Chain A
Amino acid sequence: MSTEINTYTVSIYTENNIGLLNRISAIFQRRHINIESINTSVSEIENVSKWTIVVNISEEQIKKIIGQIEKQVEVIKAFYHRDDETIYQESCLFKLKSNLLFDERQIQNIIKESNARIVTVNKEFFVIEKSGRKEEVELLYRELSPFGIMQFTRSGRIAVTKEEMKITQMLQQAFQH
């Protein structure tokens, strides 16, 4: 099995219970693996949470980790995918001084060309939101840096897979036994 390091997106369907974050993150921590990003939210199924975790490790490692994650009582199913097997996005927010919007004409062009949008504007600052791939977010960051970024934050990756997950069927089967 490949020991080459790759970026993997881990998708986990779980019950929505307190403490599960600790349990899942401990699986990575115990093996000295850094989590690049983590996101949890509701999923397409009622009362089922969906986790998206990004790690850079080997396929051999990720397979074993998926086994350990699935072993947790409150985990319904876990998957791992390479980047080409998922559709993924990140989101970010930039806070900048409001005067730049009027003094620096390029800023409006940068916003327009990067497909970002202005979320709010007030006397002191304005906020730009941009969704996309990490590289697009990084490009926008580089373009805005010279003007002075007051605050910046980027979300974890969220992803949907090209293949079908079949979680609903799985849960129906679980109820039958």
Chain B
Amino acid sequence: MNTETLNKEEKSAKITERMSGSEAVIKCLLAEGVDILYGYPGGAIMPVYDELFKYRDKIHHVLTRHEQGATHAAQGYARISGKVGVAMATSGPGATNLITGIADAQIDSTPIVCITGQVASHLLGSDAFQETDIVGISTPVTKWNHQITKASEIPSVLAKAFYIAKSGRPGPVLIDITKDAQFEQFDFSYEKCKGVRSYNPVPKTDIDDVKAAAQLINAAKKPLIVWGQGVILSEAENELKEVIEKAGVPAAWTILGASAIPTAHPLNVGMVGMHGNYAPNMLTNECDVLIAIGMRFDDRVTGNLNSYAKQAKIIHFEIDPSEVDKNVKTDLAVLGDAKESLKQLLPLLIANSHPEWHQKFKDLYAIEYEKVIKHDIHPTKEGLTMGEVLKEINIQTKGNAAIVSDVGQHQMIACRYAEFTTTKSNITSGGLGTMGFALPAAIGAKMSAPERDVVAIIGDGGYQMTIQELGTIFQQKVPVKIVVLNNEFLGMVRQWQQLFFDKRYASTEMTNPDFVAIAKGYYIDAKKVTQRNELKDAVAEMMACEGPYFLEVRVEKEDNVFPMIPSGASVSDIRLE
């Protein structure tokens, strides 16, 4: 390691203490402020678990029921708090089970550090019991990874791991530690990492670019902001709010940007993308300046790139230079941290209000309300809708809950209809689309922010991918509220089969177990709702319950999520039915 920026004086002044590599791991975690970690023990990580036992009054280890659950819980912990989540597993299958969560954290820029045990260094490459090349396997889905074979490397590598995970565009880091390094005695001392010479996490904002951006925005007649998770990650919510209010720019969000600005804010015009709102999608192809902030023009946001905002000048505020011009050719890139760039932008903006342009959003919203929203949240037909469940949760939580959603129809409905008042409140698997994310992520979120209501909204499919984490909820007494919207289908796939595969419902219908009995088997209070008139009381009972609560809502089997931009179509070809 040649990457430390310590000078010689600092090095000699450090106080050292003799200890094992595994104790050093715990000391490093404590030095980084880790109070909770999620994991699963096994042979190659046992020395570290032995130390965790000794330090159990200082650091809380949560035994998940599967290593995938540990990564998602660490993600939930990170997403609600902005802190680095930590997951731990043994070698071999323990390590490979982390991969889905790591890949999810990579594509959704979530800061997590995963620590895996590895077979002793003299056994590396010998196909020893539970040996797998986890550094090789995790390389494409980590921001950084490293294998430690000597105890003396532990402090500097773990310091670097936390620094890299959190700085710049965050992401997952995996550190693999051989068993002999865990046992080895050495002189421990810890210094937080302050920089890595080959790594420039935040490009410096060029004021000339900010000035050019201000000029374009000031001259615009029909400006539109699309913000993403970058705003939340750089904690630029207030700066964004001031910018949109001063310049009077309607602002839409990507799925991971949700909650940065309250849903009720008059300039918040809703979600963009495949199942986003009608107005921001349609008007993406009518705006004259499109201001993208901390978002990456994912294909689910842009639809067909050949007909995406071709009429507009595009400004991209972005921390990661490799995102500029990756999917959409921009006219102006403002590199740097969103908070800093927006701070510089604000005084250069001319106050404006664009009333006619705003009216267009209102008009299109009225169309969407009549065709879609009304039927979703105030249904008159017999079957329950997912939308009315969300509406009831909004009312009873006053929009203060953190909503953790899984992947599929219920996720789109949750993101469309959840009313947020607080930032970092929409926790979902965006880029990777990981079914099974929500239940463990809700555990991490609730443990990270015990003062907040955390409601997991999950489909009957995704729920059964990580249903075993009910055991974690029960053992740890995590008071999460679990709502399963059960339509007895893999609903989103079924919707596509209906629309694009002539209703050939190949392997999407589910014969489900008694979910209430399963929850009760874990001693979790549970209820099933099948009628509209039961919904209000059931949600009230759930929210009033001090412990965890499971609520199953039987919703209409073959409802579809609209609006919808068919795959490969333009954003302005969005369908309302």
Task: Give residues in A with beta carbon < 8 Å to B.
Answer: 14-15, 17-19, 22-23, 26, 30, 47, 63-64, 67-68, 70-71, 73-76, 171, 174-175, 177
Contacts and interface: CB of A to CB of B under 8 A. Distances in A.
Contacts of A64: 322, 325-326
23 contacts: A14-B198, A15-B2, A15-B198, A17-B146, A19-B135, A19-B139, A19-B147, A23-B139, A23-B140, A26-B140, A47-B2, A63-B325, A64-B322, A67-B321, A67-B324, A68-B322, A70-B322, A71-B321, A74-B199, A76-B198, A171-B197, A174-B200, A175-B5
B198 A75 contact: yes
B320 interface: yes
Nearest to B146: A19
Interface size class for chain B? 20 to 34
Binding site of A, secondary structure by majority: helix, strand, loop or mixed?
helix
A11 B135 CA distance: 25
A73 B199 contact: yes
B145 interface: yes
Contacts of B164: 73
A76 B2 CA distance: 13
Given A22-B136, A71-B321, 19 more contacts: A17-B146, A18-B147, A19-B145, A19-B147, A23-B140, A26-B139, A26-B140, A64-B322, A67-B321, A67-B322, A67-B326, A70-B321, A70-B322, A73-B144, A73-B164, A73-B198, A74-B144, A75-B198, A174-B197
B198 A71 contact: no
A26 B139 CA distance: 8
Contacts of B262: none
A55 B428 CA distance: 38
Given A73-B196, A75-B198, A30 B322 contact: no
Contacts of B195: 174, 177
A45 B320 CA distance: 27
Nearest to A25: B139
Nearest to A69: B322
A15 B3 CA distance: 9
Contact of A73 (B135, B140, B143, B320): B143
Nearest to A24: B139
Contacts of B136: 19, 22
B139 A22 contact: yes
Contacts of B146: 17, 19
A68 B325 CA distance: 12
Nearest to A64: B326
Nearest to A29: B140
A14 B320 CA distance: 19
Contacts of A75: 198
A15 B200 CA distance: 14
A90 B164 CA distance: 38
Nearest to B320: A71
Nearest to B169: A71
Q: Which of B144, B198, B321 is the most central at the interface, judged by chain A CB atoms within 10 Å of its CB? A: B198
A159 to B, nearest CB: 21
Contacts of A73: 143-144, 164, 196, 198-199
A43 to B, nearest CB: 13
Nearest to B195: A177
Nearest to A14: B198
B88 to A, nearest CB: 21
A96 B434 CA distance: 58
> Which 7 pairs from chain A and chain B are nearest by CB?
A67-B322, A174-B197, A76-B198, A73-B144, A26-B140, A73-B199, A71-B322
B478 to A, nearest CB: 34
B412 to A, nearest CB: 28
A131 B210 CA distance: 51
Contacts of A14: 198
Interface in B176-199: 195-199
